[in-house]
Chain A
């Protein structure tokens, strides 16, 4: 009985030793910098911090800039507006308004949202380096995870990749699978004006591959004489 208790205690101590460093690592350092003509008002940690006149928020590998911001430090949230730009590695998002949830590593953009992402392709160049393609996505609203860079786009979505342009109502990107799932009145037009209309399509971002599906599908292409 005693031996079991001692083993249990030892296990608990070891578990706490593992958990404590993990929880310590979970803390995220956030830096908010204001512009030379800025005005910052801090209403206590429970209240909001408002910034006018240019602001930059930095954490992890994320840099966000905008004209103004309202930050709630205790809640770990921020509302940014006016020429919002988020840069994280190969991803850049611009919009009119952005809500960021720092504790949850996610952000929501609205108003003229444009995302660009430089995606390495499966194909290699002559020197053996991966070829890169720029993917551009325009939409009304965008929800993105800054932990994974997965995103969900909504409202008049347009996705451009190379000479290919896809339009749909919603789009979801999975970074791990390197693909965008397009849904709702999907139309994809290729470089040679070939097009596909369908209910749902999957665009692979790291290769030249599109999968279309749905109850009705319309494919248009030109046949050379």
Chain B
């Protein structure tokens, strides 16, 4: 074989190998697996239900009921918690009957504590009227008590009452305020600030009772 013919064969062989390489590793590359289009639910979530009504029981009686956009369950049987997103309607029960209704951004129920923690724009209604709003409310069914650890606004028929924190005793139908309580929009004397003491507020009567050292501040002459 002449050297010229030899070079032509080698060149042809190299070209064929190159074409096979391009075909095998570029053109005919296996497609990657398509990503899961469903929303990631987190590694610990065991169950996600879109659009659900769930209810919590206390001593065999319904303590609360929630209708939400989605519900997910996390953890094992002993330490499971239920996460609720987009609470469109909730009910807190007293003696098995709805006592208050609420809406909230999210909620979490921990089996260990039996507490329902509501977060994000929590708004409570009673008898069809808005009662209070806050960023967080913790409902403790076994104590029949709702705790608002941060600032809350109570709506009354003639104005609003802003409190630093409060507790709602569902059995006694009383609101216990802690820290400062400011009554706004009800008086010609402007805001009325009440501090200290143990303050029990009755939103229906717009009345309060305080024991121990208490200070009331208001202005006269508006």
Contacts and interface: CB of A to CB of B under 8 A. Distances in A.
Contacts of A28: 219-221
Nearest to B213: A36
B221 A31 contact: no
Contact of A38 (B213, B218, B222): B213
A73 to B, nearest CB: 5
Interface in A16-58: 26-45, 47, 49
Chain B interface size, as a band, is 20 to 34
B218 to A, nearest CB: 5
Contacts of A218: none
Give chain B's interface secondary structure class. strand
A33 B213 contact: yes
B210 A30 contact: no
A71 B192 CA distance: 13
B55 interface: no
B220 A34 contact: no
A150 B217 CA distance: 27
B205 A43 contact: yes
Contact of A27 (B183, B210, B222): B222
Contacts of B208: 40-42
Contacts of B194: 42
A111 interface: no
Interface string A66-80: 000001011010000
Contacts of A34: 197, 210, 212-215
Contacts of B218: 29-30, 73
Contacts of A44: 186, 205-207
A59 interface: yes
A43 B220 contact: no
A36 B209 contact: no
B192 A45 contact: yes
A207 interface: no
A102 interface: yes
B126 interface: no
Chain A interface size, as a band, is 20 to 34
B187 interface: yes
Contacts of B192: 45, 73
B217 A45 contact: no
Contacts of A41: 207-209
A7 interface: no
Contacts of A59: 220
20 contacts: A26-B221, A27-B222, A28-B219, A28-B221, A29-B217, A29-B218, A34-B197, A34-B214, A36-B212, A38-B214, A40-B209, A40-B211, A40-B214, A41-B209, A42-B207, A47-B207, A73-B187, A76-B221, A102-B220, A102-B221
Interface of B: 183, 186-190, 192, 194, 197, 205-222
Give 7 nearest A-B pairs by CB, closest first: A45-B187, A40-B210, A32-B216, A76-B220, A44-B206, A28-B220, A42-B208
